[in-house]
Each structure stands twice: as structure tokens, then as C-alpha cells.
């Protein structure tokens, strides 16, 4: 007589896909290339062993996963009320609150462990990084500057990568942080355009909710002007050449395109502006920086 089959949970691969979808793991492409570019710049004259490079990547992935997991947890009630986000995994019950906390705690531990491997200063700075990464999720409850706080949180990645390689900080990583913070802040404002009406009704704060579509587009554009200015200044202070400047020219063109396809009366291409073009920005910047460093 054959014994009845023992019920089992979903395959591990399915769970990983579900968690990856919940934290938008594919969006790591926005932040990771800038951290790798910072590591490439920092490595000149000191080198970058592969284990250290791998630890930087692991730290970035762990930090971002922890931040997104925490965001989904604290925003679960808001997401359940917002028509755009009701399909997210926690509101739908696809991922339990306990599982989300477990994933977030695990990712945090991975980040701290990788930081410890990268050196005492990186480890000492992990509370600051986590405060920014976790703190962002609550800022929209009291300030429209939440977009800039998100930008600063993600900009801590390139700063951390620089410190992991050189063990110090200076003008070059500060300029890269400025570029990343304003770039992220600018396109997060564009992303928030989709929720402006809901945010107002729910008492949440954002630039689009505060200033409307036209004001939000203007602020986003001004932030991206600062992004380009910081990238150009970086060329001078970091001793980068023609290849890098060519990459900045492409990045500038992509940002101009991003704003050109959005109008106060037509936001139909918002997803293209947010997802596609910003992904190209980070990849182009990484390629141009690394090639310029290797050619220098």
C-alpha cells in the first residue's frame, strides 16, 4: 500500500522569485552600477581584489533588499488602500508578515556581515546606512522631501564602496553621492506622480502632492541639472577623460529625453521614463567610468 504524499510548501525557486518580485530586485540596476563605478574610481593606485569586489556587491544587494523589505512591511496598510499597489505581495497575502520580517532581517545580517569583511570603518558606518535606508520609508508621512532622503540613502552605496576600497572619504565620492542623490530624488518625484491624488487623500507627503504635476516636473528637472553638473565636476576632480565625458553626454541626453516625453497633460509614458531610461543611465555611466579608468 502506497503511503500518501506528504504536503510540501512551494518550491524554493518559487519563493525566491516571489521575494525578488516583492522587493523589486531587478531595480538593483539603478543603484549597483554607481557603487561599482565608485569602486573602480577608488581602485586606481590601490587595486581591487575580486573578494573585496564581491563583498561590495553582496553588501549592496543585502542593503537594498533589507530596505525594500522594510518598506513593504511598514507600507502594507497604505499599499492595501492604494489602487496602484493593492496587488503587492503582502496586501495580497502571497507573502506573510512573518516571512517578510525574516527576509528583511536576513538581508540586514548579510549587509552587516559584508560590511564587517570590508573593514572596521564600513562596519562602524552600518547603523548610519541602515537609519537612512529604513528611515526613508516613514518620511512620506511627514515631509515632501522624502524623495531627497531616498536619494541620500541610495547615494550611501557609492560612498560605502569608495570607503571599502580606500578606507577614507573626500571630494570625489562626495560629488558622486551628490550626483546619485539628485538623480534618484529626481526620478522618484516622477514615479510619485502616479500616486499624487491618493497621497493627498491619504494625508501623505510628496512633491507631486504638494506642487502638482507641473511643479513636480520642474523640481525633478532642476535636480537632474544638479546631477549632470556633479558628474561633469567629477571628471575634473577625479582626472577622468574623453571616454567618461562621452558617457556623461549620453547620460545627459537620456535625462533630457526622460523629461521630454512627459508633459503635465500627458503622463502616459511615465513607466518608460522611470524604468527604461533610468536603467540605461546607470549602465552607461558604469561602462564609461570603468572603460575610462582602465584606459587611463
User: Looking at residue 208, which CATH number applies to its domain?
Assistant: 1.10.357.140
Question: Domain for residue 213, yes or no?
Answer: yes
Question: Domain for residue 122, yes or no?
Answer: yes
24 pLDDT above the threshold of 70: no
pLDDT score for 120: 94
Mean pLDDT of the chain: 89
Question: Domain for residue 23, yes or no?
Answer: no
Q: How confident is the model at residue 226 (pLDDT cuts 50, 70, 90)?
A: very high
Question: Domain for residue 152, yes or no?
Answer: yes
185 vs 109, 201, 208, 220, CA distance in Å? 27, 23, 12, 7
The owner of cell 523629461 is 259
Is 206 in contact with 254 (CB distance < 8 Å)? no
Percent of the chain whose predicted confidence (pLDDT) is above 70: 89
Question: In the numeric block, which cell numbers belong to residue 91?
Answer: 496586501
Question: Domain for residue 84, yes or no?
Answer: yes
Number of independent structural domains in the chain? 1
Question: Domain for residue 21, yes or no?
Answer: no
Q: Which range marks the domain in which residue 148 is found? A: 28-295
pTM, to two decimals: 0.89
List 266's β-bridge partners, or say none: 263
Question: Domain for residue 48, yes or no?
Answer: yes
Amino acid at each position: 500500500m502506497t503511503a500518501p504524499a506528504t504536503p510540501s510548501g512551494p518550491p524554493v525557486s518559487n519563493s525566491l522569485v516571489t521575494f525578488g518580485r516583492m522587493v523589486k530586485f531587478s531595480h538593483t540596476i539603478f543603484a549597483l552600477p554607481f557603487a561599482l563605478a565608485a569602486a573602480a574610481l577608488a581602485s586606481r593606485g590601490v587595486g581591487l581584489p575580486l573578494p573585496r569586489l564581491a563583498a561590495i556587491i553582496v553588501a549592496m544587494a543585502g542593503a537594498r533588499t533589507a530596505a525594500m523589505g522594510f518598506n513593504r512591511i511598514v507600507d502594507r496598510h497604505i499599499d492595501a488602500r492604494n489602487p496602484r499597489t493593492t496587488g503587492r505581495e503582502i496586501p495580497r497575502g502571497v507573502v506573510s508578515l512573518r516571512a517578510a520580517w525574516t527576509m528583511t532581517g536576513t538581508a540586514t545580517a548579510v549587509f552587516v556581515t559584508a560590511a564587517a569583511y570590508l573593514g572596521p570603518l564600513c562596519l562602524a558606518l552600518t547603523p548610519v546606512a541602515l537609519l537612512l535606508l529604513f528611515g526613508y520609508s516613514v518620511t512620506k508621512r511627514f515631509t515632501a522631501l522624502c524623495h531627497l532622503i531616498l536619494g541620500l540613502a541610495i547615494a550611501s552605496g557609492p560612498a560605502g564602496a569608495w570607503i571599502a576600497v580606500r578606507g577614507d572619504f573626500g571630494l570625489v565620492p562626495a560629488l558622486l553621492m551628490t550626483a546619485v542623490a539628485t538623480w534618484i530624488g529626481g526620478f522618484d518625484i516622477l514615479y510619485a506622480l502616479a500616486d499624487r491624488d491618493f497621497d493627498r487623500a491619504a494625508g501623505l507627503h510628496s512633491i507631486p502632492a504638494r506642487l502638482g504635476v507641473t511643479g513636480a516636473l520642474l523640481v525633478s528637472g532642476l535636480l537632474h541639472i544638479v546631477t549632470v553638473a556633479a558628474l561633469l565636476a567629477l571628471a575634473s576632480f577625479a582626472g577622468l577623460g574623453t571616454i567618461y565625458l562621452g558617457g556623461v553626454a549620453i547620460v545627459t541626453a537620456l535625462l533630457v529625453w526622460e523629461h521630454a516625453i512627459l508633459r503635465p497633460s500627458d503622463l502616459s509614458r511615465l513607466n518608460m521614463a522611470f524604468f527604461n531610461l533610468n536603467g540605461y543611465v546607470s549602465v552607461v555611466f558604469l561602462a564609461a567610468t570603468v572603460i575610462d579608468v582602465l584606459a587611463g
